[in-house]
Structure 1
């Protein structure tokens, strides 16, 4: 196996990204519980959770402007710093309006970091190893994500929400140190083509990742509360096994993409996702919850990096930042809208009804993934 991309810069970027997403995944099960402890309704909790995605979306519309004026290293450090300020602010606020405002502020950092971590990693990869390299890059995220819910819920249960947010602050400081230690790469010498904010050639990937965002928002926002209402104690293990399943599957998914393209991966993983949603709709025991986590984790660990690698295969190096911004905006728009709309759906149909709805969307997703992932054209990038 060619591992020429395993050098200092790629490893530090992987570590920094993994630490930042550890904080993100620690907040996933805790923020809904934090909102519930403050007396917020499911719809309000959905708005708080989803607000970060809308702010990230707006931030990424400015990607061409940022990319022409600042290095990716500077933008990553700035994004982590915004994340850090938000983590400090959460335990100081109890007003719904102020928490939404802070979540939007957090979203500015989320938009910068998710865009420039991914593109910085891709810049370190040879063209024929994009799928494999981004698969391993995602493994770093999934490893920390596997630890995140266990650590987060243990801190909240045994200490306090304030101690939880202090832990997030320490992890973010470590991520910032990792990025400070990287060596900035020179800007690409490739001739730039016009890079619009919206590019029709990426509609298949954008549409599929948008639906994925809706499905993910339902699981990540409302599973902790639903499990609590069902008197199940295994929610931290749900997120743990999901992350482990994602770690295990990602390297093989990346190799499959490099050899066969996205279709085979998407057909299998979208079916697993629909099955996981159906299991969540009927959970009445911890073993069902954990089994759903395995299916959910395998699907998430396959779909997202496959769609992301597909985007990288179809864009030029010079336009990679803009293409990634469009891709991530589609995902975050799905996450943001999903959290808000599904929060309202919970109030109308209950948690089980919401998850049955997501299972139905999962079946539609399988059909769309099969149709849209026909053999894609790719741009030959320099090694």
Structure 2
């Protein structure tokens, strides 16, 4: 019996486009603080605003983007979003003041928020139902690989060239994101939504429980994104920080072929409970790290944990939505996920200032462990075991 094909031209095209979007995002995430400080004479607070303004744009637009995707159409909204993303990136070249730069960051966040919601919705339409977990897992790899390549490329560029050339290269990456989907056949929604606007339509109720879990876990994840390099410097392990996300990605990619298939075969609980435990264990180990070895071992546990959680949770959201509400469901999930990262970065920064980074990661390990209970009560306890007898299947890829 042949399995439904997953690796189609359309699936690959959308995944590649997503890769270039996130590659640009992560490249700029590590280089713009330096740009703000050196080129715009920004203070530490203003550097924080550069990050926050982008995030505000993405968070504010996500609830609306789900409705626009369903009303206006997936292809049109993706085209509009990619155009905003590209023009904002190109305009960085001509920015000469902090105010102008913050406005561009806000617009860039809007383009990113709509584009990533659109690609997530489109790829959900393209993946066969029987391979939903596997497909969403492979799609998420585009983001995970970008998370490793982006910071490395960004830090390399600022050492060998100037910021103007870096922005030109980022513009080129934005163009590649557009080119990747030019020849993709994007399915249309099978039913038209009512055009009358309602604030109730900004949030998809079926996605809300899992989105709450995702938002809580994102707070823990923000501690990795925002402070792991600073913590490494504090421990005099700055060289280890360079490889933290490399190890993270290696263990994530090694697990991906299995976790997606297990999700489809046995259900989400088999993936999510161990993944939360792995993330919590990684944070706990990180809090006690005193050597490069323990620092990088913690990266392996964190990669297995957080790297498996995001695609698994997103798969549940997509599965529970109808074809006509997948855009809103995806938007609901990422609205709370982005909010968790934003709130977490701010609150955890204050905690770290009082307790130190080691204690911060210790606190986060218990917080993430507590998400086991949150997931159980909001979703996990209602799931029945979906264990199927192994069947000989011929993969069609």
TM-score category of the 2 structures, normalised to the smaller one: 0.7 to 0.9
1:295 — aligned with what? 301
Q: Is the 8 A contact 1:272 1:298 kept in 2?
A: yes
2:23 — aligned with what? 22
Taking the aligned partners of 1:311 and 1:134, their CA distance within structure 2 comes to 11
Superposition TM-score, scaled by structure 1 size = 0.88
Q: Deviations over 1:309-368 (max 9, x none)?
A: 111111111111111111111101111212222233333333333323322212212332
1:202 — aligned with what? 207
Match of 1:175 among 174, 177, 181: 177
Taking the aligned partners of 2:179 and 2:143, their CA distance within structure 1 comes to 17
Q: Deviations over 1:108-149 (max 9, x none)?
A: 012111111011001112222211111111123323333222
Taking the aligned partners of 2:292 and 2:99, their CA distance within structure 1 comes to 35
Query: Alpha carbons of 1:182 and 1:342: their partners in 2 closer, same or farther (altered >3 Å)?
Result: same
Structure number with bigger Rg: 2
1:381 — aligned with what? none
Q: CA deviation at 1:7?
A: 1.6
Taking the aligned partners of 2:159 and 2:32, their CA distance within structure 1 comes to 13
Deviation larger for 244-253 or 313-322? 244-253
RMSD: 2.7
Task: Report the secondary structure of 2:14's partner residue.
Answer: helix
1:74-89 matches, within 5 Å, as 74-89=76-91
Query: Alpha carbons of 1:293 and 1:32: their partners in 2 closer, same or farther (altered >3 Å)?
Result: farther
Query: Alpha carbons of 1:357 and 1:52: their partners in 2 closer, same or farther (altered >3 Å)?
Result: farther
Taking the aligned partners of 2:235 and 2:17, their CA distance within structure 1 comes to 36
Query: Alpha carbons of 1:273 and 1:97: their partners in 2 closer, same or farther (altered >3 Å)?
Result: farther
Match of 1:265 among 265, 268, 271: 271
Q: Is the 8 A contact 1:29 1:224 kept in 2?
A: no
Taking the aligned partners of 1:214 and 1:94, their CA distance within structure 2 comes to 33
Taking the aligned partners of 2:309 and 2:150, their CA distance within structure 1 comes to 21
Taking the aligned partners of 1:80 and 1:311, their CA distance within structure 2 comes to 24
1:40 — aligned with what? 43
Taking the aligned partners of 1:97 and 1:350, their CA distance within structure 2 comes to 32
Q: CA deviation at 1:227?
A: 2.4
Taking the aligned partners of 2:278 and 2:51, their CA distance within structure 1 comes to 25
Q: CA deviation at 1:208?
A: 0.9
Q: CA deviation at 1:288?
A: 2.9
Q: Is the 8 A contact 1:47 1:340 kept in 2?
A: no
Query: Alpha carbons of 1:133 and 1:351: their partners in 2 closer, same or farther (altered >3 Å)?
Result: same
Q: Give the number of equivalent residue pairs.
A: 376
Task: Report the secondary structure of 1:374's partner residue.
Answer: helix
Deviation larger for 181-190 or 108-117? 181-190
1:272-287 matches, within 5 Å, as 272-287=278-293
Identify unmatched segments of 5+ residues in structure 2: 385-397
The reply on whether 1:228 has 2:228 as its aligned counterpart is no
Query: Alpha carbons of 1:89 and 1:358: their partners in 2 closer, same or farther (altered >3 Å)?
Result: farther
Q: CA deviation at 1:239?
A: 1.4
Task: Report the secondary structure of 1:180's partner residue.
Answer: coil
The reply on whether 1:217 has 2:217 as its aligned counterpart is no
Taking the aligned partners of 1:230 and 1:99, their CA distance within structure 2 comes to 34
Q: Is the 8 A contact 2:251 2:303 kept in 1?
A: yes
Q: Deviations over 1:253-299 (max 9, x none)?
A: 11121122221211111111112222333444333332222222111
Q: Is the 8 A contact 2:207 2:321 kept in 1?
A: no
Q: CA deviation at 1:99?
A: 4.1
Q: Is the 8 A contact 1:192 1:318 kept in 2?
A: no
1:310-321 matches, within 5 Å, as 310-321=316-327
Q: Is the 8 A contact 1:59 1:112 kept in 2?
A: yes
Match of 2:152 among 150, 153, 164: 150
1:1-383 matches, within 5 Å, as 2-35=3-36, 38=41, 40-41=43-44, 44-90=46-92, 93=95, 97-189=99-191, 196-231=201-236, 232-372=238-378, 373-376=380-383
Identify unmatched segments of 5+ residues in structure 1: 378-383
Q: CA deviation at 1:36?
A: 5.7
Q: Is the 8 A contact 2:67 2:327 kept in 1?
A: no
Deviation larger for 308-317 or 282-291? 282-291
Q: CA deviation at 1:35?
A: 4.9
Query: Alpha carbons of 1:162 and 1:357: their partners in 2 closer, same or farther (altered >3 Å)?
Result: farther
Q: CA deviation at 1:106?
A: 1.6
